[in-house]
């Protein structure tokens, strides 16, 4: 998929996928974000006043969103368990385990671990589920074409777009579509659930910030008004708060890049084929770029003073930046606005400071227990 592609293959796929994130298509996803956020709010209020670990709950929300927007499927992960939801969870867990455990580095040693049979079974469930949807949707589109019907209007999922060469400029095979859809799903739900978790924590930690965001939300989104793209665009202070949360708690705390030609940087020679780690978390906490970096100051993003554009890169930067960053920001604005519109967020322990696990995804070591009070 696009995450691991390189060279001409990456360039071709990136160009083909760009249309999937056109602003009109992104606008059509806002009702999905809101509908699933309504489910999330109901789940939180079922435990109103009681501490709940928001991270796993947020993961189920983002999984519901990703499945509906990537494949047009409503799996109701927040409401009921399923083999597919368990498979996705197991695949994510084991993939991260392999990255940080020497027994997982090699396929040969991995085969002898307890995780291998679980991984293989989960992979099979994932592939059968996804490929069956791809084949069904391709058959439906072919039937439409053979009847000389115009392609249906309305919301298009990523799968719909990949199946239509008139939108992508190329014909994807089922295997290519499977890879791209899975890339979108696995890259999009863990990262966004991390972002949601730390945004809500920041509100609980800083009640004055929470109150100001709440006042903006009730001014821009009156009771009963559906959220749309215009509402999202009008939430200016919320955007500053999200940016500051992504600075302090970047969902992806570091990136790696392979060097495709020899370069000399600050007098250090880096050879072609070397790997470079970009310490995003450390850079976002560097006082040279962000004075008083440990303070939560959303207003720092109001400043018009020039800042090195590569000093703040929660979605990476350059040609290989996150293709779905606008999707993610719209989703974040919608869901946290919906939660705060209906709930006040509190810390059970006002002095709580989360211990952080800086793996591929930034996570709280012991979970993130918050209290949600109905407004």
Q: What average pLDDT does range 287-311 have in this prediction? A: 90
Residue 159 has a pLDDT of 87
Residue 259 has a pLDDT of 87
Helix (H) or strand (E) holding 193: helix 174-205
Greatest mean pLDDT among 7-16, 69-78, 122-131 lies in 122-131
Binding residues for heme: 322
Residue 19 has a pLDDT of 72
Distances (CA, A) of 143 to 133, 136, 138, 140: 15, 11, 9, 5
pLDDT-based confidence at residue 164 (cuts at 50, 70, 90): confident
Distances (CA, A) of 1 to 5, 59, 177, 257: 6, 22, 8, 16
Q: What average pLDDT does range 344-366 have in this prediction? A: 92
pLDDT-based confidence at residue 370 (cuts at 50, 70, 90): very high
For the cut 80, the answer to whether the pLDDT of residue 7 exceeds it is no
From 17, 268, 290, select the one nearest 159 (Cα to Cα): 17
For the cut 60, the answer to whether the pLDDT of residue 357 exceeds it is yes
Other CB atoms closer than 10 Å to residue 179's CB: what's the count?
Answer: 19
For the cut 70, the answer to whether the pLDDT of residue 137 exceeds it is yes
Under 8 Å CB-to-CB from 195, ≥6 apart: which residues?
242, 245, 246, 249, 251, 328, 332
Q: What average pLDDT does range 132-143 have in this prediction? A: 87
Q: What average pLDDT does range 219-228 have in this prediction? A: 90
Domain locations along the chain: 7-374
Paired tokens of 121: 């079974």
Are 364 and 55 contacting, i.e. CB atoms less than 8 angstroms apart? yes
Under 8 Å CB-to-CB from 88, ≥6 apart: which residues?
63, 122, 126, 185, 186, 189
More reliable by pLDDT, 187 or 272: 272
d(CA 272, CA 365): 36
Residue 149 has a pLDDT of 55
CATH superfamily placement of domain 7-374:
Cytochrome P450 (1.10.630.10)
For the cut 90, the answer to whether the pLDDT of residue 345 exceeds it is yes
For the cut 60, the answer to whether the pLDDT of residue 150 exceeds it is no
Q: What average pLDDT does range 71-77 have in this prediction? A: 88
Going by the DSSP 8-state scheme, the letter that residue 316 receives in this structure is: B
Under 8 Å CB-to-CB from 34, ≥6 apart: which residues?
226, 227, 334, 338
More reliable by pLDDT, 319 or 120: 120
For the cut 90, the answer to whether the pLDDT of residue 373 exceeds it is yes
Give me the chain's average pLDDT, please. 89
Residue keyed to tokens 């109001």: 302
Residue 321 has a pLDDT of 84
Going by the DSSP 8-state scheme, the letter that residue 210 receives in this structure is: H
Are 342 and 332 contacting, i.e. CB atoms less than 8 angstroms apart? no
Q: What average pLDDT does range 177-201 have in this prediction? A: 90
Q: Convert the pLDDT of each residue in 36-50 to its tens digit.
A: 999 999 999 999 889
Report the chain's C-alpha Rg in angstroms: 21
Longest dimension (CA), the chain: 65
Residue 151 has a pLDDT of 52
Residue 152 has a pLDDT of 56
- Give the torsion sign (CA, 251, 1, 17, 338): negative
Residue 206 has a pLDDT of 97
Alpha helices in the chain (DSSP H): 7-18, 23-46, 54-71, 83-100, 102-105, 107-110, 115-146, 158-163, 165-168, 174-205, 207-220, 229-234, 236-248, 280-284, 325-342
Are 357 and 56 contacting, i.e. CB atoms less than 8 angstroms apart? no
Measured N-to-C along each axis, helices 115-146 and 174-205 cross at an angle, to the nearest 10 degrees, of 110
Asked whether the whole model's pTM tops 0.85, one would answer yes
Q: Convert the pLDDT of each residue in 47-56 to its tens digit.
A: 988 999 999 9
pLDDT-based confidence at residue 3 (cuts at 50, 70, 90): low
Binding residues: 322
Greatest mean pLDDT among 159-163, 199-203, 303-307 lies in 199-203
Least confident of 212-221, 253-262, 342-351: 253-262
d(CA 190, CA 175): 23
Other CB atoms closer than 10 Å to residue 268's CB: what's the count?
Answer: 7
Q: What average pLDDT does range 111-138 have in this prediction? A: 93
More reliable by pLDDT, 177 or 236: 236
Are 253 and 58 contacting, i.e. CB atoms less than 8 angstroms apart? no
């Amino acid at each position: 998929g696009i995450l691991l592609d390189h060279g001409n293959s990456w360039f071709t796929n990136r160009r083909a996928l760009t249309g999937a994130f056109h602003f009109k298509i992104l606008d059509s996803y806002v009702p999905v974000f809101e509908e699933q956020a309504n489910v999330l709010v109901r789940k939180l209020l079922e435990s109103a006043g009681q501490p709940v670990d928001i991270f796993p709950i947020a993961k189920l929300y983002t999984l519901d969103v990703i499945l509906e927007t990537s494949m047009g499927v409503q799996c109701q992960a927040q409401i009921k368990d399923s083999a597919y939801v368990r498979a996705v969870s197991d695949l994510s867990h084991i993939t991260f385990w392999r990255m940080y455990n020497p027994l997982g580095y090699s396929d040969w040693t991995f085969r002898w671990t307890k995780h291998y049979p679980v991984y293989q079974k989960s992979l099979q469930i994932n592939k059968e589920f996804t490929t069956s949807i791809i084949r069904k949707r391709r058959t439906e589109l072919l039937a439409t074409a053979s009847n000389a019907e115009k392609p249906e209007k309305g919301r298009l999922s990523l799968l719909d777009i990949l199946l239509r060469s008139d939108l992508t400029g190329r014909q994807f095979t089922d295997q290519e579509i499977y890879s791209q859809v899975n890339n979108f799903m696995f890259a999009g739900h863990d990262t966004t659930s991390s972002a949601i978790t730390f945004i809500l924590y920041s509100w609980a930690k800083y009640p004055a910030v929470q109150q100001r965001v709440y006042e903006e939300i009730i001014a821009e989104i009156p009771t009963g008004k559906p959220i749309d793209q215009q509402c999202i665009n009008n939430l200016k202070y919320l955007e500053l708060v999200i940016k500051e949360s992504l600075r302090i708690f970047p969902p992806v705390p570091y990136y790696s890049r392979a060097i495709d030609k020899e370069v000399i940087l600050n007098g250090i020679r880096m050879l072609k084929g070397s790997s470079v780690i970009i310490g995003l978390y450390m850079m976002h906490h560097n006082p040279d770029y962000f004075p008083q970096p440990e303070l939560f100051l959303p207003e720092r993003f109001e400043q018009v003073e020039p800042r090195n554009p590569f000093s703040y890169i929660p979605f990476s930067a350059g040609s290989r930046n996150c293709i779905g960053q606008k999707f993610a920001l719209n989703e974040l604005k919608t869901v946290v606005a919906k939660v705060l519109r209906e709930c006040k967020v509190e810390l059970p322990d006002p002095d709580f400071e989360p211990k952080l696990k800086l793996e591929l995804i930034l996570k709280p070591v012991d979970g993130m227990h918050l209290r949600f009070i109905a407004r």
